[in-house]
C-alpha cells in the first residue's frame, strides 16, 4: 500500500482523485451534443481546478478521464473523444506544463490510436522534472484491468527469474506493479454527477480514502466546488482502521449505563 501523507496541520489532503462524471447530462441540459459536453470539460474545467489545487497546497491530483467501459461507446463519440484528447495533449496539457505541473498517465494507454499514445508519453517525459504538483490522467483505466496487469507484471518477474516465486509478496511490493507506482494513495475521492459509487476506481488504492459525492455535473465543477469538498474533508477524523481506545471505552460505558 502506497504511503498516505495528508497535511494534518491544515486539513488539506495530499492526493485528491476525481471521477469526472456528468458531461453527457450537462450537454443534454444545454441542448448540445455529447461531444460538446466532453470538450467543455476538457477545455474549461480542468485547468482552473489544477491551478486552485496548487494554491491550496495539494501534492497530487488525479482525473479519471476515460474508463475501460468507455470503449463500448459508439464510433462517433469515440472519434470525438479521440480528437479532444489529441487537442488536449497538444495544447491544454502544455499549458499545465508551463505551470510547473508534472503530468502522469495511468491506464492502458496503448489501446488508443498510436498518435495519442505517443503524445501522452511525450508530455509525461517533458514534465517529469516539474515539482509544483503531480497531475495524473487515468486514460483507458479500469480497476480490475489495472490489477490484472499488475499481476501480469509480477508473473513476468518470476518467469524471467528476476524474482523468486517462493518469496512472499508484500503490499508495498504489489503497489509497485500498479499504474500508480510512486504515487501516494488518494486521501479524498470526489465524484461529480450525483452517483454514489466508485465504479472500479482505484480498488487497491482507495481503501482508506474519504469519499465525497456531489450532484454538480463535471463541466460545472469549479474551484469553489473543490473548496466545499476540501472543507468537508477537513472535518473528518481519519483513523485508518485503528480507532481510538477512549472511544470504545465511552461506547461501552454508555451501553452499560443504559442496561
**CATH number of the domain that residue 213 is part of:** 3.40.1180.10
Choose between 8 and 236: higher pLDDT: 236
pLDDT class of 11 with cuts at 50, 70, 90: confident
Is 52 assigned a ligand-binding role in the annotation? no
Asked whether residue 10 is domain-assigned, the answer is no
Is 254 assigned a ligand-binding role in the annotation? no
Flag whether pLDDT at 246 surpasses 60: no
Asked whether residue 9 is domain-assigned, the answer is no
DSSP symbol at 111: G
Asked whether residue 7 is domain-assigned, the answer is no
Rounded-to-integer distance, Cα 85 and Cα 87, Å: 5
Range of the domain at 150: 15-258
pLDDT at 124: 96
Partners of 62 in beta bridges: 17, 136
What's the structural domain count of the chain?
1
CA 49 to the chain's CA centroid: 13
Is 243 assigned a ligand-binding role in the annotation? no
When mean pLDDT is compared across 27-41, 53-67, 123-137, 235-249, the lowest value belongs to 235-249
Flag whether pLDDT at 68 surpasses 60: yes
Asked whether residue 94 is domain-assigned, the answer is yes
Flag whether pLDDT at 75 surpasses 50: yes
- Helices 75-87, 114-126: axis angle to 10 degrees equals 30
Rounded-to-integer distance, Cα 152 and Cα 68, Å: 18
3 state DSSP class of 141: strand
Asked whether residue 30 is domain-assigned, the answer is yes
Flag whether pLDDT at 154 surpasses 70: yes
Is 24 assigned a ligand-binding role in the annotation? yes
Is 64 assigned a ligand-binding role in the annotation? no
Catalytic residues: 21, 70
Asked whether residue 217 is domain-assigned, the answer is yes
Q: Which of 153, 202, 144 has its CA nearest to residue 2?
A: 202
Query: How does pLDDT run across 196-245, given as a tens digit for each residue?
Result: 999 999 999 999 999 999 999 999 999 999 999 999 999 998 776 666 54
Q: Which of 179, 232, 204 has its CA nearest to residue 1?
A: 204
Contact 110, 117 (CB under 8 A): yes
Rounded-to-integer distance, Cα 100 and Cα 175, Å: 27
**At 148, which helix (H) or strand (E)?**
helix 143-159
Three cell numbers, residue 2 = 502506497
Asked whether residue 2 is domain-assigned, the answer is no
Flag whether pLDDT at 158 surpasses 50: yes
Is 30 assigned a ligand-binding role in the annotation? no
Asked whether residue 50 is domain-assigned, the answer is yes
Amino acid at each position: 500500500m502506497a504511503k498516505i501523507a495528508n497535511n494534518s496541520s491544515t486539513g488539506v489532503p495530499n492526493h485528491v482523485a476525481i471521477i469526472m462524471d456528468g458531461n453527457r447530462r450537462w450537454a443534454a441540459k444545454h441542448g448540445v451534443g455529447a461531444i460538446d459536453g466532453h470538450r467543455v470539460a476538457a477545455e474549461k474545467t480542468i485547468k482552473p481546478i489544477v491551478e486552485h489545487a496548487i494554491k491550496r497546497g495539494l501534492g497530487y491530483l488525479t482525473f479519471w478521464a476515460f474508463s475501460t467501459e468507455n470503449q463500448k461507446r459508439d464510433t462517433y463519440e469515440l472519434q470525438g473523444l479521440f480528437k479532444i484528447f489529441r487537442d488536449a495533449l497538444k495544447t491544454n496539457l502544455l499549458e499545465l506544463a508551463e505551470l510547473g505541473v508534472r503530468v502522469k498517465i495511468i491506464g492502458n494507454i496503448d489501446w488508443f490510436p498510436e498518435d495519442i499514445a505517443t503524445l501522452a508519453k511525450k508530455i509525461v517525459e517533458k514534465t517529469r522534472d516539474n515539482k509544483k504538483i503531480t497531475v495524473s490522467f487515468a486514460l483507458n483505466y479500469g480497476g480490475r484491468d489495472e490489477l490484472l496487469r499488475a499481476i501480469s507484471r509480477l508473473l513476468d518477474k518470476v518467469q524471467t527469474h528476476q524474482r523468486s516465486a517462493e518469496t512472499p509478496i508484500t503490499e508495498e511490493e504489489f503497489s509497485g506493479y500498479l499504474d500508480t507506482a510512486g504515487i501516494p494513495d488518494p486521501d479524498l475521492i470526489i465524484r461529480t454527477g450525483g452517483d454514489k459509487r466508485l465504479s472500479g476506481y482505484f480498488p487497491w488504492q482507495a481503501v482508506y480514502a474519504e469519499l465525497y459525492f456531489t450532484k454538480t455535473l463535471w463541466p460545472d465543477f469549479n474551484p469553489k466546488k473543490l473548496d466545499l469538498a476540501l472543507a468537508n474533508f477537513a472535518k473528518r477524523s481519519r483513523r485508518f482502521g485503528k480507532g481510538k481506545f477512549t472511544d470504545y471505552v465511552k461506547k461501552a460505558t454508555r451501553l452499560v449505563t443504559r442496561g
